[in-house]
Amino acid sequence: MTEAEKLVAQFKEERQARGFYTVAIYLIDRAFGGHEEGGWYYDCGTPYLEPEAALHMRAFDRLSDAENYTAYLNLTVIPDWNEGRAEVSSVLSEGQYKALWSEGFPQPFPTSRPHYE
């Protein structure tokens, strides 16, 4: 078990019994949705659980605390991580890091592939 996996397992054990909000760092990118009307894309994100990111993961009982910590990470930590990375709208993009809060444990999104309508 890697150090990151140990941190995540410990985190889950501590929070399993109650409702909470989690702040985690995600790798956000765009995925190709389909060829309809010249092609379309959708945003997707995966929790980034490498040790340097897992150290920043926190759980909060109050949403306002989670929102404040999310803003703090996005203003102080994340800009350095994204330095030199192309925007997600670029064909050269390999994703951008962003702190997000969620109810419960961090999950990839979207949970299912969107359909063009």
For 55: left if phi > 0, alpha if psi spans -120 to 50, otherwise beta; the answer is: alpha
Say how far apart CA 78 and CA 64 lie, in whole Å.
20
Is residue 108 in some structural domain? no
Is residue 60 in some structural domain? yes
In the predicted structure, residue 117 carries a pLDDT above the cut 80: no
Whether the predicted model's global pTM rises above the 0.85 cut: no
Residue 42 belongs to domain spanning? 3-103
Report the number of distinct structural domains present in the chain. 1
User: pLDDT tens digits for 68-100?
Assistant: 999 999 999 999 999 999 999 998 999 999 999
- Which of 10-14, 27-31, 106-110 is least confident? 10-14
The predicted pLDDT at position 17 comes to 52
CA dihedral defined by 68, 70, 75, 81, rounded to 10 degrees?
Answer: 160
Is residue 112 in some structural domain? no
Say how far apart CA 21 and CA 104 lie, in whole Å.
6
Is residue 81 in some structural domain? yes
Is residue 62 in some structural domain? yes
User: pLDDT tens digits for 43-68?
Assistant: 999 999 899 999 999 999 889 999 99
Could you say which DSSP state residue 111 is in? S
> Token pair 């945003």 is at which residue?
43
